[in-house]
């Protein structure tokens, strides 16, 4: 790289802008987490200082854990997210394999049909989805949510995975065929392990909107039994408007699992975004 | 085609088996309900029976003041919501990406990870956290503005009709700026070194290099983020609902199509829910989004020059 692209003032300027924006991006999150560990007086007296021994207080957390059934909501969210993720990845990979591996009549038409859902949001079909779920008795079950999220995640999964499956070497698959492996064995034993990194990318893309969704839990499964953590937090926050300790603690409890997962998977996610899938 | 060479190949069942689960779930839960919703918008519930009424629901939506005032208001607000995203979110995203991709920048991975954090948070968290920060009760926002001597400018933005929608749009920008940043960053990384070096040999560096060399090369990606923003904005609901409630206060000033659809479909307080009108609004949203996607596919994308390296 020539020296022309590197000059000291410009580097300092770049760092200044990026650092400013990083502060803007993180400030609300840090503020909420920091204040959730403080007493009421500490929250209002000095909102911008970290908790000191004098202001440290876990009253917010004890209220939240005593009042809301968050462990249960958390379980619901986990079941819904993991089950939909599993189905999206399995069905998505199978369809992507069929589209990228075999030439058959209607192949590109089928690809286009499945890609429709990338641009048209499933939310617009809510009226009829609710009727369908009422008719099949699935309202207020986690199954309804799992089905909807599977349908919602499939288009993008098929699209991304078929791009990656085209890169798997034909020689390998043909060698498998000569050895007498069935098409199913080739898919599950040869191809799937090779596209595992792109599966992880798809998993992260699929997981975030499912975990964070408010619309479908609100409409399809609002009962106490099936509340997800997002909906539970929303209702809890609505009830406890004046209890700032409880609100800040509930927000922090909702932030932390996602944040921890993100820190673990961020490398995977960023590599996924920056590697070809969206070029 | 292989089929031409061996016309008597047995029917390949495995293709069907591989495709069936995805196609079935997708068709049953997504495509059919979407079609069902479009169909439902042409019917009306009269004495417990669904009666075909043609475009009557749409005539009501556009003409009957009970509906049309709310609809046009929501559409106007939604358009403003989108304009703010295009004017603020995407330029900031492009700028951050351009800075991040500068060669040998230290801590690039840290900045990238940190700036993307708001995008992974749920709307519930974002809406409430900002509500607290902007609340005059807590006083974080006025306190911060006091530090830079602007305290007099503070008002409870979310509570004032003329500011609330813009404030919410900016909160949404704050949340989603990571997406254009990442996509543009990926596009910038894929520009080959030789192109940049050739530009440097011709003496084009710094900002001029960005405007003349890199920007034309990333235009297709800017097209993609524009259409993603469009679809996302005209389908938005959660942020408004969590921050302002289903009534999209104050006085409907933050009502967008998503919240309008929710109230029409489910009813709220005194209003009774009407699935057929809900379907009509969803159909309008569908047409708006479809229109945007078509404009993008046929007018924008075909005119953008793609460069193959």
Question: In the prediction, which pLDDT does A279 show?
Answer: 37
Question: In the prediction, which pLDDT does B71 show?
Answer: 93
CA distances to A38, A129, B128 from B242, in Å: 24, 23, 7
| pLDDT > 60? residue B5 | no
Output B300 or B173, whichever has higher pLDDT.
B173
Q: Kindly list the structural domains of chain A, giving each domain's residue range(s) and its CATH number in brackets, ordered by start.
A: 3-57 (no CATH), 64-274 (1.10.3720.10)
The length of chain A, given as a count of residues:
279
Q: Which of A69-73, A137-141, B147-151 has the lowest mean pLDDT?
A: B147-151
Q: How far apart are CA B274 and CA B151, in angstroms?
A: 46
Binned at pLDDT 50, 70 and 90, residue B1 comes out as very low
Span A150-169, average pLDDT: 90
Question: Tell me: the pLDDT tens digits for A213-251?
Answer: 889 999 999 888 898 888 888 888 877 777 888 888 888
CA-nearest residue to B14 within chain A is A183
Q: Which of B63-77, B186-200, B274-288 has the lowest mean pLDDT?
A: B186-200
Question: Tell me: the pLDDT tens digits for A61-81?
Answer: 888 888 767 888 888 999 999
- Nearest CB to A254 within list B96, B122, B144: B122
CB neighbour list of residue A265: distance below 8 Å, 6 or more residues apart = A200, A204
Nearest CA among A236, A262, A253, A228 for reference residue A32: A253
Q: How far apart are CA B102 and CA B214, in angstroms?
A: 12
Contacts of B117 in chain A (CB under 8 A): 25-26, 29, 259, 262
Binned at pLDDT 50, 70 and 90, residue B107 comes out as confident
User: Hey, which residues 55-84 in chain A have their CB within 8 Å of chain B?
Assistant: none
Q: At what angle do helices A70-101 and A244-274 cross, to 10 degrees?
A: 10
Q: How far apart are CA B149 and CA A20, in angstroms?
A: 18
Kindly report the nearest CA distance between residue B35 and chain A, in angstroms.
8
Question: In the prediction, which pLDDT does B159 show?
Answer: 83
Alpha-carbon torsion angle A243, A248, A250, A256, nearest 10? -170
- Among 3.40.50.1370, 3.40.50.300, 1.10.3720.10, 1.10.150.530, name the CATH number for the domain at B57-303: 1.10.3720.10
Binned at pLDDT 50, 70 and 90, residue A133 comes out as very high
Q: How far apart are CA B107 and CA B112, in angstroms?
A: 9
CA distances to A16, A65, A225 from A73, in Å: 41, 12, 8
Percent of all residues in chain A with a pLDDT value above 90, rounded to a whole number: 32
User: Hey, which residues 168-207 in chain A have their CB within 8 Å of chain B?
Assistant: 182-184, 187
Question: In the prediction, which pLDDT does B143 show?
Answer: 79
Say yes or no for a CB contact (<8 Å) between B132 and A11. Answer: no
| pLDDT > 70? residue A36 | yes
Which two three-digit tokens encode residue B111? Answer: 């900045």
Q: Which of A30-44, B1-15, B23-37, B215-229 has the lowest mean pLDDT?
A: B1-15
Say yes or no for a CB contact (<8 Å) between A119 and B293. Answer: yes
Pick among A96, A127, A209 to test the B interface (most B CBs inside 10 A): A127
Binned at pLDDT 50, 70 and 90, residue A4 comes out as very low
CA distances to B104, B175, B200 from A1, in Å: 10, 35, 10
Which two three-digit tokens encode residue A253? Answer: 């409890």
Pick among B125, B131, B237 to test the A interface (most A CBs inside 10 A): B125
CA-nearest residue to A131 within chain B is B33
Q: Which of A23-32, A102-111, B137-146, B226-235 has the lowest mean pLDDT?
A: B137-146
Give φ, ψ of B267 to 5 degrees.
75, 160
Mapped onto helix, strand or coil, the DSSP state of residue B48 is coil
- What sign for the dihedral angle of Cα A54, A56, A60, A65? negative
Q: Which of A91-95, B21-25, B75-79, B160-164 has the lowest mean pLDDT?
A: B160-164
Characterize B84-96 residue by residue with b for buried, 16 or more Cβ atoms within 10 angstroms of its Cβ, and e for exposed.
Answer: bbeebbbebbbbb
| pLDDT > 60? residue B3 | no
Q: How far apart are CA B211 and CA B217, in angstroms?
A: 10
Give φ, ψ of B272 to 5 degrees.
-90, 140
Question: In the prediction, which pLDDT does B283 show?
Answer: 93
Say yes or no for a CB contact (<8 Å) between A125 and B25. Answer: no
| pLDDT > 70? residue A54 | yes
| pLDDT, mean over chain B | 86
Contacts of A97 in chain B (CB under 8 A): 18
Kindly report the nearest CA distance between residue B211 and chain A, in angstroms.
15
Q: How far apart are CA B11 and CA B44, in angstroms?
A: 46
| pLDDT > 50? residue B40 | yes
Kindly report the nearest CA distance between residue A162 and chain B, in angstroms.
12
List, in sequence order, every beta strand (DSSP E) within chain B: 43-46, 49-52, 267-268, 271-272
Pick among A25, A40, A49 to test the B interface (most B CBs inside 10 A): A25
CB neighbour list of residue B134: distance below 8 Å, 6 or more residues apart = B141, B156, B157, B158, B167
């Amino acid at each position: 790289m020539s020296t022309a692209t590197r000059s000291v003032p410009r580097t300092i300027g770049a760092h200044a802008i990026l650092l400013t924006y990083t502060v803007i991006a993180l400030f609300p999150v840090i503020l909420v987490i920091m204040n959730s560990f403080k007493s009421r007086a500490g929250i209002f007296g000095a909102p911008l200082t970290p908790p000191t021994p004098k202001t440290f207080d876990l009253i917010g957390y004890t209220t939240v854990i005593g009042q809301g059934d968050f462990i249960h909501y958390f379980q619901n969210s986990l079941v819904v997210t993991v089950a939909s993720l599993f189905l999206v990845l399995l069905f998505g990979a199978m369809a992507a394999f069929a589209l990228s591996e075999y030439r058959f009549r209607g192949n590109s038409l089928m690809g286009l049909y499945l890609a429709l859902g990338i641009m048209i949001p499933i939310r617009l079909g809510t009226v009829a989805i609710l009727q369908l779920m009422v008719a099949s008795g699935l309202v207020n079950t986690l199954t309804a949510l799992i089905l909807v999220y599977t349908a919602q995640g499939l288009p993008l999964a098929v699209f991304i995975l078929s791009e990656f499956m085209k890169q798997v070497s034909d020689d390998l698959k043909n060698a498998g065929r000569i050895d007498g492996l069935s098409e199913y064995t080739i898919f599950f034993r040869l191809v799937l392990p090779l596209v595992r990194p792109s599966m992880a990318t798809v998993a992260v893309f699929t997981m975030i909107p499912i975990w964070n969704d408010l619309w479908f839990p609100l409409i399809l499964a609002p009962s106490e039994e099936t509340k997800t953590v997002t909906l539970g937090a929303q209702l809890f926050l609505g009830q406890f408007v004046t209890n700032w300790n409880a609100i800040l603690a509930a927000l922090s409890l909702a932030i932390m699992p996602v944040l921890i997962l993100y820190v673990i998977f961020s490398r995977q996610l960023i590599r996924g975004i920056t590697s070809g899938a969206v070029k | 085609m292989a089929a031409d060479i061996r016309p008597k190949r047995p029917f390949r069942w495995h293709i069907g088996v591989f495709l069936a689960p995805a196609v079935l779930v997708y068709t049953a839960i997504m495509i059919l309900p979407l079609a069902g919703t479009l169909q439902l918008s042409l019917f009306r519930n009269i004495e417990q029976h669904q009666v075909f009424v043609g475009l009557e629901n749409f005539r009501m939506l556009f003409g009957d003041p009970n509906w049309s005032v709310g609809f046009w208001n929501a559409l106007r607000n939604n358009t403003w919501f989108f304009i703010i995203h295009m004017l603020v979110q995407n330029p900031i995203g492009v700028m951050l990406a351009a800075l991040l991709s500068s060669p040998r920048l230290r801590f690039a991975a840290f900045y990238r990870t940190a700036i993307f954090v708001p995008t992974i948070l749920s709307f519930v968290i974002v809406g409430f956290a900002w509500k607290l920060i902007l609340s005059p009760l807590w006083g974080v926002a006025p306190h911060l503005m006091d530090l830079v001597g602007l305290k007099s400018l503070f008002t409870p933005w979310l509570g004032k009709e003329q500011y609330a929608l813009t404030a919410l749009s900016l909160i949404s920008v704050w949340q989603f700026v990571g997406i254009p940043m990442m996509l543009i960053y990926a596009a910038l990384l894929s520009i080959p070194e030789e192109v940049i070096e050739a530009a440097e040999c011709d003496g084009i560096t710094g900002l001029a290099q960005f405007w003349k060399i890199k920007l034309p090369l990333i235009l297709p990606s800017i097209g993609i983020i524009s259409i993603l923003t469009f679809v996302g904005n005209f389908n938005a609901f959660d942020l408004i609902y969590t921050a302002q409630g289903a009534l999209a206060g104050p006085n409907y000033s933050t009502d967008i199509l998503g919240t309008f659809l929710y109230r029409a479909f489910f009813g709220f307080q005194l209003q009774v829910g009407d699935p057929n009108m809900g379907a009509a609004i969803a159909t309008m949203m569908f047409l708006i989004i479809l229109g945007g996607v078509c404009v993008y596919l046929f007018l924008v994308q075909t005119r953008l020059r793609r460069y193959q390296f």
